[in-house]
Structure 1
Amino acid sequence: MNAIGRPNWRRLNQEGIVFAIAILLFAAAAIGLPGFLTADNLVAIVRSVSVLGILALGMAVVIIGRGIDLSAVAIMAMSVAWYLQLLNTGTADGLAFIYVLAGVLAIGLLNGFLVAYADVPAIFVTLATGSFVFGYVRSQLITQDAVPVPQGHWVELLGGVRFLDIPVEVFVFAGLAFLVFLFLRYTKWGRFIYFAGDNPVAARNIGIPVRPMLVLRYALSAVVALIAGLLTAASLHSINTRVVNSTLLYDIVLVAVIGGIGLSG
């Protein structure tokens, strides 16, 4: 409050404003929508928000360094669809996962290499690789849009895991968010990411390995997308590749920006 007893709105930061709006919207929905506060509905909301938050973590690390990853949703959906397809056709679980993880890392490293060393704008690179991943996997590696999880597989069992009646996705999101926070805030490499995003030329001049770190960020984003895809399949017992054509990608970028990360780094 100021001297005449009025609140000083300038003290509110962006995160505080977003949090206040979220509380108001939640209260309005609870009052105006019958069944909104039911346990099943709240669990569904928490699960979807957790997966969105995980994807936004990977996107945030890329955006902080003045990049963007438009291939994240394609990697999330198509990598898990391929993994489930391999399982459904009899491929050993460990071998199938190695194939998929190698493919995900290859796409992430390719994104980073083209952006860092070929100086191709990130928006064009990741849009192209996302389109390629979707088209190639859908036409060559899977046979249907929605690929089910094999019955009794660990992904299916993971979807039923709860602690204190809270879905496991929430704890995975919280754990990843905490690790990303610690990495960016308290490690040398995390600070390097901020320096490179603020002024890449100056960062390079003082010896920060800007280009290798850029490659690493896109690889990390791809792996985070795979984790989000596995959690999606765990909660739904399948993965629907049509999500690639949804608005999920815009939601991810929006969450990162609302969280206080500028698209300019």
Structure 2
Amino acid sequence: MDARTSKPDRRSGGLRFSQEGIVFLLTLAMFAGFSLLLPKFLTSGNVIALMRSVSVLGILSLGMCIVVIGRGVDLTMVATLVVGMVWAVKLANEGVPFGVALGFGAGLVSLFGLVVGLIVAFAEIPAIFATLAMAPVIFGIGNPFLFKQDTHNAPAGIAWLRELGFGMSFGIPNTIWVFAAVALLVHLMLRYTRFGRSIHALGDNPSAARLTGFPVRPIIVAQYVMTALVAYLVGLVIVASNSGINSRLAYTTLVYDVLLVVVLGGIGLSGGRGGVRNVLVGTFFVGTLLSGMTILNLTHTAQNLIKSVVMLMALVAETFANPRDEQTSQQGDI
């Protein structure tokens, strides 16, 4: 959905578009194969469950793509959504109006994003190390200072929350409509706003962006605040879909599934390239893969092995599709 993804790149020889197309075809083939070989795959219940899981994975990946396009990465997303949403739910269950509690949670995750952004922008620590270190810090602030229990049930009697998680419009789960709305907003932001063009410019060539007058450090900080808020929205979807949230979600491999979506979709880790279309392609591939492996009852170890091999292959493909030139190799990576 971004013009940058539809034009052959001089350094990639057009391979980026081919990677995206190949992943899309593999998704169709995998979906067809699972439908034929797994009797439970094409049932209405599994399809709805697949769509709901895709919405969570997809919205998180949209947030991740913003920082990756800007030559960053955010490994704090899951910790941020867990701490912010668990605290909001806890406040609501203690008598705080749910809307007010959500506002407190949004303020908290914005603060987390601000701190991460400031560290990356001003301390100039590579984003992968800064966010890797900050993820346990964020969760450590939440547990035990803001909450102590693992499981937190959604507040009762909130009709719109239940409708969000279990309702359907035109035969499609409402969570998918939320995913579609966020995808549209991110696409419009990246394509048509000065901020979106600044993110692409920053990711493509940070030195040139500085020389041309882009406020590089404020852009970096804004990226991480925006990503934190997107993660918080995913937390709300999780609460609505599961009637609650478990803080142990922070210990899962969800953030690596998000990275797998981004890499498979064809968003260049060297920054400056990619868009919402890439996220959509990667999301449906990973969502279909996870659903099939779950029905096959594969162990978590086996699933992680398969996902790791797929990610490694995608990283190798991305390297060949976007070879580094001398200028790129001299600039900071994620």
* TM-score normalized by the length of structure 2: 0.74
Q: Distance in 1 between matches of 2:212 and 2:256?
A: 35
**Is 1:213 equivalent to 2:219 in the alignment?**
yes
- Aligned residue in 1 for 2:23: 18
- Aligned residue in 2 for 1:71: 76
1:187 is displaced (CA, Å) by 2.2
Alignment of 1:1-265 (within 5 A): 13-153=18-158, 154-265=160-271
Contact persistence 1:156–1:233 (CA under 8 A): no
Contact persistence 1:82–1:100 (CA under 8 A): yes
Over residues 89-124 of structure 1, what are the superposed CA-to-partner deviations in whole Å (9 max), with x where a residue is unaligned? 112223312211110100001111111112122122
- Unmatched tracts of structure 1, length 5 or more: 1-8
Give the match's secondary structure for 1:224. helix
Q: Distance in 1 between matches of 2:17 and 2:208?
A: 32
Over residues 190-216 of structure 1, what are the superposed CA-to-partner deviations in whole Å (9 max), with x where a residue is unaligned? 111111111111111011111101100
Contact persistence 2:69–2:268 (CA under 8 A): yes
Q: Distance in 2 between matches of 1:254 and 1:155?
A: 29
Q: Distance in 1 between matches of 2:177 and 2:25?
A: 23
Q: Which amino acid aligns with 1:167?
A: P
- Unmatched tracts of structure 2, length 5 or more: 1-13, 272-334
Contact persistence 2:163–2:174 (CA under 8 A): no
1:164 is displaced (CA, Å) by 1.2
1:12 is displaced (CA, Å) by 6.1
1:252 is displaced (CA, Å) by 0.4
Contact persistence 2:67–2:223 (CA under 8 A): yes
Q: Which amino acid aligns with 2:101?
A: A
Q: Distance in 2 between matches of 1:124 and 1:11?
A: 27
Q: Which amino acid aligns with 2:202?
A: A
Q: Distance in 2 between matches of 1:99 and 1:53?
A: 25
Over residues 58-98 of structure 1, what are the superposed CA-to-partner deviations in whole Å (9 max), with x where a residue is unaligned? 10000111111000011112211111111111122233122
Q: Distance in 2 between matches of 1:171 and 1:222?
A: 20
Q: Distance in 2 between matches of 1:139 and 1:219?
A: 24
Q: Distance in 2 between matches of 1:155 and 1:82?
A: 17
Give the match's secondary structure for 2:152. strand
* TM-score normalized by the length of structure 1: 0.92
1:143 is displaced (CA, Å) by 3.0
Percent of counterpart pairs with the same letter?
Answer: 47
Give the match's secondary structure for 2:166. coil
Q: Which amino acid aligns with 2:24?
A: F
Q: Which amino acid aligns with 1:60?
A: C
1:141 is displaced (CA, Å) by 1.7
Structure 1 stretch displaced more, 195-204 or 154-163: 154-163
CA spacing shift, 1:18–1:50, aligned 2, 3 Å: same
Structure 1 stretch displaced more, 139-148 or 233-242: 139-148
Q: Distance in 1 between matches of 2:210 and 2:199?
A: 11
